[in-house]
């Protein structure tokens, strides 16, 4: 059995760990509120953007001349995956969930004999993927220095993707991120952004005849690259809210577990202390009796 001193040390060490996790939980909760707010504020932009693109693409008559970003290159050989993870750890299953989802997809692509290229956003994703898919990773981006998620960071990623697309380095682009549902649930998502999927054709999206200035295709070819950045930005916002939510619940669990551990150790400590006292008493009494 551990000595009293050892138990004491363990209790105090668990207690200080608990203090840290508690503080982290509180910080995550404060950050979560902010992240959630900005995720909500960012929604109108991407929604409107989607709407306009939908209206535009409905208006396009000959699909052959449509911009490549919308219709695709006509091939399906090289897949680019943008995996978005966090820069920091200690956030429960957050990164692992995205990676798991992404790995499933990677396996599918490779099994079909297609070429796989990966861009990682956030250092944790790179760490987890470099062993298995190190050769496939063509770019790694991290925004450790930026304090808040801002559009210009997303735009940077978007520009890299567009540039590679224009150089015909890939045919299909998919992004992976965690969608924020609530503090406990985050759903890993895969979303294809190039070519754009316009599956959700709204029946009641007006058949209005828009006036376009300049021509539709020109607007579209201007708009689509922006949409890529917007989608990435939206994913980044969702991701940051998810990260904080995930961290908060992970740290909450850790704090609770530490509390349980302290209770258990305290009981053990008290028992062994009592046992020691009893032992001493017995020794004294039996010593006195023998006199």
CB of 82 to another protein, least distance (A): 18
| 91 classed as catalytic | yes
CB of 83 to another protein, least distance (A): 22
**Closer residue to another protein in complex, CB, 207/289:** 207
Q: How far apart are the first and last CA of the chain?
A: 32
**Closer residue to another protein in complex, CB, 234/247:** 234
Q: Contact with another protein (CB under 8 A): which of 222, 266, 274, 278?
A: 222
Q: Contact with another protein (CB under 8 A): which of 20, 27, 49, 160?
A: 49
| 86, 95 Cβ separation under 8 angstroms | yes
Radius of gyration of the chain (CA): 28
- Exposed / middle / buried, residue 147 (Cβ in 10 Å: 0-12, 13-18, 19+): exposed
Given 28, 91, 116, 224, which residue is catalytic?
A: 91
Spatial separation of the C-alpha atoms in residues 29 and 245, rounded to whole Å = 7
Spatial separation of the C-alpha atoms in residues 44 and 53, rounded to whole Å = 14
Piece of 92-100, 118-126, 209-217, 272-280 that binds another protein (CB under 8 A): 209-217
- Exposed / middle / buried, residue 103 (Cβ in 10 Å: 0-12, 13-18, 19+): middle
**Closer residue to another protein in complex, CB, 130/226:** 226
Q: Is residue 51 close enough to count as binding another protein by CB under 8 A?
A: yes
CB of 92 to another protein, least distance (A): 27
Count of residues of this chain found to bind another protein when the rule CB under 8 A is applied: 30
Q: Is residue 55 close enough to count as binding another protein by CB under 8 A?
A: yes
Q: What length does the chain have?
A: 291
Spatial separation of the C-alpha atoms in residues 288 and 50, rounded to whole Å = 91
| 20, 170 Cβ separation under 8 angstroms | no
| 36, 241 Cβ separation under 8 angstroms | yes
Q: Contact with another protein (CB under 8 A): which of 61, 65, 199, 206?
A: 206
CB of 231 to another protein, least distance (A): 11
Spatial separation of the C-alpha atoms in residues 12 and 262, rounded to whole Å = 8
The β-bridge partners of 185 are none
For β-strands 78-84 and 115-121, DSSP reports them as: parallel
Q: Contact with another protein (CB under 8 A): which of 87, 127, 139, 155?
A: 155
**Closer residue to another protein in complex, CB, 46/257:** 46
Q: Contact with another protein (CB under 8 A): which of 84, 223, 241, 250?
A: 223
CB of 150 to another protein, least distance (A): 7
Q: Tell me the backbone φ, ψ of residue 121, rounded to 5 degrees.
A: -115, 120
Q: Say which DSSP state 63 is in.
A: G
Piece of 41-49, 66-74, 265-273, 283-291 that binds another protein (CB under 8 A): 41-49
| 106, 137 Cβ separation under 8 angstroms | no
**Closer residue to another protein in complex, CB, 97/229:** 229
Q: Is residue 230 close enough to count as binding another protein by CB under 8 A?
A: yes
**Which residues of the chain form contacts with another protein (CB under 8 A)?**
38, 41-42, 44-46, 48-49, 51-52, 55-56, 150-151, 154-155, 206, 208-214, 219, 222-223, 226, 230, 233
What residues are annotated to the active site? 91
């Amino acid at each position: 059995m551990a000595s009293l001193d050892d138990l004491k040390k363990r209790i105090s060490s668990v207690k200080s760990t608990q203090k840290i996790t508690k503080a982290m939980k509180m910080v995550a909760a404060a950050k979560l509120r902010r992240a959630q707010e900005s995720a909500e504020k960012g929604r109108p932009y991407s929604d409107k953007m989607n709407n306009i693109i939908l209206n535009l693409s409905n208006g396009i008559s000959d699909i052959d001349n449509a911009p490549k970003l919308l219709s695709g290159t006509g091939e399906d050989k090289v897949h680019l995956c943008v995996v978005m993870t966090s820069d920091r750890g200690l956030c429960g299953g957050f990164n692992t969930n995205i990676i798991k989802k992404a790995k499933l997809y990677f396996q599918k692509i490779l099994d079909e004999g297609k070429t796989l290229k990966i861009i990682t956003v956030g250092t944790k994703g790179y760490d987890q993927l470099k062993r298995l898919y190190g050769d496939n990773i063509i770019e790694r981006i991290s925004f450790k220095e930026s304090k808040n998620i801002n559009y210009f960071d997303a735009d940077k990623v978007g520009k890299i993707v567009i540039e590679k697309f224009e150089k015909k380095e890939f045919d299909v682009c998919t992004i992976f991120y965690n969608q924020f549902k609530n503090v406990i649930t985050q759903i890993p998502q895969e979303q294809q952004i190039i070519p754009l999927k316009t599956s959700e054709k709204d029946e009641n999206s007006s058949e209005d005849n828009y006036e376009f200035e300049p021509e539709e295709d020109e607007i579209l070819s201007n708009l689509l690259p922006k949409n890529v950045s917007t989608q990435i930005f939206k994913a980044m916002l969702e991701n940051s809210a998810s990260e904080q939510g995930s961290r908060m619940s992970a740290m909450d669990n850790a704090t609770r577990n530490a509390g349980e551990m302290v209770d258990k150790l305290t009981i053990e400590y008290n028992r062994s202390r009592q046992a020691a006292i009893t032992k001493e008493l017995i020794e004294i009494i039996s010593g006195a009796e023998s006199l």
